[in-house]
């Protein structure tokens, strides 16, 4: 707009310089009459397509390890404990030899041979202990002979049952020293019987097998000079049987 007005004024001035009178009418259009050139429409920006959100993968739970089964433990032993500590009444203590133990096998072999058994015994209780001879035995005297307590019954005949005390002094001096009925307990008179001397074997009520010789009380020694069959340092080895 301002550029057009300036050009009109310049034209008038030039015509006046050659001496002629020039009458010119300069029409200045009001600014309001000027029609602005149509503006170029600004293109409408096309909205970029909104990408569809990728599905968020569900978190995969770490694999759960299968629970490891706890080992099944054997039930705690009941009844007779496996061993007894040394004490004044059981000088070296006692043990209960398990299956496969040489001491267990040795005791059962002595018992089977002495009783003439060919069928297996079922062991209800067994103890092994060592100690000296009774005080009345002077010559030969053993200070550390082996002893077994066995409570058992015959596998082929449950009525053949009992409690035995075995002693081993040497490989040739060994055998059953005393026997008691199966349904008795502990170490007490008159349950335990010993036999002295020779005689025709006979059955005795409550005892397994047959026995020869003179029967006496092995606990007190009554009937055999009054000397107990076990020294005081061994009697507690049978406590709780």
Q: State pLDDT tens for residues 208-222.
A: 999 999 999 999 999
Full-model pTM: 0.67
DSSP H stretches of helix in the chain: 2-16, 102-115
pLDDT in tens, 173-201: 999 999 999 999 999 999 999 999 988 99
């Amino acid at each position: 707009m301002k550029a057009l007005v300036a050009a009109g004024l310049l034209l008038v001035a030039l015509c006046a310089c050659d001496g002629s009178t020039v009458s010119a009418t300069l029409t200045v259009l009001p600014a309001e009459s000027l029609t602005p050139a149509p503006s170029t429409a600004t293109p409408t920006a096309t909205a970029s397509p909104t990408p569809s959100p990728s599905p968020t993968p569900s978190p995969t739970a770490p694999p759960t390890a299968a629970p490891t089964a706890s080992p099944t433990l054997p039930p705690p032993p009941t009844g007779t404990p496996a061993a007894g500590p040394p004490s004044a009444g059981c000088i070296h203590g006692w043990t209960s030899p398990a299956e496969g133990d040489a001491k267990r096998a040795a005791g059962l072999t002595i018992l089977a041979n002495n009783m003439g058994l060919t069928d297996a015994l079922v062991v209800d209780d067994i103890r092994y202990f060592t100690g000296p001879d009774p005080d009345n035995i002077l010559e030969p005297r053993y200070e550390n002979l082996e002893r077994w307590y066995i409570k058992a019954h015959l596998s082929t005949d449950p009525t053949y049952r009992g409690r035995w005390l075995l002693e081993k002094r040497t490989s040739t001096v060994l055998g059953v020293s005393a026997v008691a009925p199966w349904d008795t307990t502990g170490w007490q008179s008159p349950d335990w019987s010993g036999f002295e001397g020779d005689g025709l074997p006979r059955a005795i009520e409550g005892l397994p097998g047959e026995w020869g010789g003179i029967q006496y009380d092995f606990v007190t020694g009554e009937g055999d000079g009054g000397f107990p069959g076990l020294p005081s340092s061994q009697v507690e080895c049978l406590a709780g049987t």
